Amino acid sequence: MKLMKVASTAALVFVAGLVAGQTEQAGQSAESQTTGATVTSPTGANTKIAVIDIERIAAESNEGKALFEALRIENEKLQEESTRLQQEIRDMQAKLNSEILSQDARLRLQRDVERKRTDAQRWLEDAQAAFEAKRQDGEAKFQEKLAPIVEAVAKEQGIGLIFRATPGLTFVLDPALDISPLIVQKLDEATPPTGEGGDANPQ
């Protein structure tokens, strides 16, 4: 994004701490607390900064919820099919162990069981790969839709630097820096809920 720069975790901790200190000293207004904060560089230039949490935006926005629901339904279908295949193999194995069969019939059934297991394993590997591809494609499309929203908000609010919060790696000391709710609002305005023109298909 043109208006966004990438910063290291260490830089985020430092800047967030600096902003928290400035907030206490200057007593920022409620409006500025919801749209980031401003820091002054050693050269005297002022830069407004903010933080976004992609996971939060995905969990709270209509677009993200639609993606999660589509993936959940797809995952349930895979689990159901996997359960069905496993039950077929158990039924064949039970028949092999319990019925009185000729040697030839037993050998044929044993081969059928082994082939069924092999086919099921191949199907599972292919299904998992296809699901992962759909998940990655869905996430990529979500971020494609998110990018212009974030850029528009940055321009609208005069934000020159946006950090992406990463759980376990970044530490935001001042929650007022997080503009994720504003991004969710703008994204929902641009994307109707599922069933009202929205598309829950991650493909």
Helix (H, G, I), strand (E, B) or coil at 6: coil
d(CA 134, CA 139): 8
Look at residue 124 in the predicted model and tell me its pLDDT: 95
105-164 pLDDT, tens digit per residue, is 888 999 999 999 999 999 999 999 999 999 999 999 999 999 999 999 999 989 988 888
185-200 pLDDT, tens digit per residue, is 999 998 766 554 444 4
d(CA 170, CA 26): 25
Whether residue 174 contacts residue 19, with contact meaning beta carbons closer than 8 Å, is answered with: yes
Look at residue 193 in the predicted model and tell me its pLDDT: 62
160-184 pLDDT, tens digit per residue, is 888 888 777 767 667 788 899 999 9
Q: Could you tell me the strand order of the sheet in which 37-40 lies? A: 37-40, 46-52, 161-164
Mean pLDDT of 90-97: 88
Residue 94: CB atoms within 10 Å? 10
d(CA 39, CA 45): 8
Q: What is the value of pTM for the model shown? A: 0.66
Look at residue 101 in the predicted model and tell me its pLDDT: 77
